[in-house]
Amino acid sequence: MDSPSADPGTPGPVDAVFSMQRDATAALLREMRSQHIMPTFPQPWGSIGAYLSLLRRPRPLALLDVPDLSQVPDLPQRVHVLSRLSAVVVLVPDGTDSVALLRAGAANVLSRSISPMELASRIAAERRWLAVLSPLHATDGTHEFPKLGPHVKHGSQKILLELIQAVRHPWCCHDLCLLLGDARHPLSRRALQARMTRLTRRMAECGASFTITHQWGRTTFSRARPAPDRSAPAE
């Protein structure tokens, strides 16, 4: 019988497992199945569905599995951007220096070689700790001001809207490119710019816009604000 967390509609201790090497992570999840602690299937880095799921939970917990460090030279940066969406437990090979990952925002860094029972116990302890913390995300729709969700249909635009609306601090273009790329390459700046152009046009139709700042070769995006009412008399 599968773990209850295998049902995507049933919250489990781990809300999403992101894999940097899918075959190795799939083998790990098969070993962990008896512990009822993780989903049945891993998600690739950049999965829009997984990101949206994390943003819609008040205290999400994600696991980032890294079977081979040599394949992920920018791991601390990836931990940093994922930690803006969720508490993150990172699984790494034995002997990995965990300091940079903890400084980047990891809630914990664990060895991939520990027993399934110990791994399950440590993850359950992280979940208990999360339960006493303030929610990371609002789930009552308050972060969706103005309410643009019904007007944004395309997945690549919807994830940008929800990322910028749900996360408290502004997003740098480089962080968005890293988060929305794949396990090997970030999204290109040109592709991000094209997506943002389409999204801002849709938002303008609804009378809203992001706060966009350009400085030192970086572009930052903050929560949407209503467009000024030009019909109102000046004070």
**Phi, psi dihedral angles at 233 (to 5 degrees):** -70, 140
Measure the CA–CA gap between 166 and 14, rounded to whole angstroms.
Answer: 20
Look at residue 9 in the predicted model and tell me its pLDDT. Answer: 38
**Which residue would you say has higher pLDDT here, 206 or 39?**
39
Residue % of the chain over a pLDDT of 90: 63
Spatial CA neighbour of 156 closest among 112, 191, 115, 111: 191
Tokens (6 digits) for 210: 């992001």
Look at residue 224 in the predicted model and tell me its pLDDT. Answer: 72
Measure the CA–CA gap between 159 and 10, rounded to whole angstroms.
Answer: 22
Look at residue 2 in the predicted model and tell me its pLDDT. Answer: 36
pLDDT at 29 over 60: yes
pLDDT at 177 over 90: yes
Mean pLDDT of all residues in 76-93: 97
Mean pLDDT for all residues in the chain:
86
Tokens (6 digits) for 26: 């799939």
Indicate the pLDDT class of residue 3, thresholds 50, 70 and 90: very low
Mean pLDDT of all residues in 16-23: 95
**218-226 vs 171-172, strand pairing mode:** antiparallel
Task: Specify the range with the lowest mean pLDDT, choosing from 112-116, 164-168, 178-182, 223-227.
Answer: 223-227
pLDDT at 96 over 50: yes
Cα angle 79-165-147, degrees, rounded to a multiple of 5: 150
pLDDT at 107 over 90: yes
Look at residue 202 in the predicted model and tell me its pLDDT. Answer: 83
pLDDT at 138 over 70: yes
Look at residue 194 in the predicted model and tell me its pLDDT. Answer: 93
pLDDT at 150 over 90: no
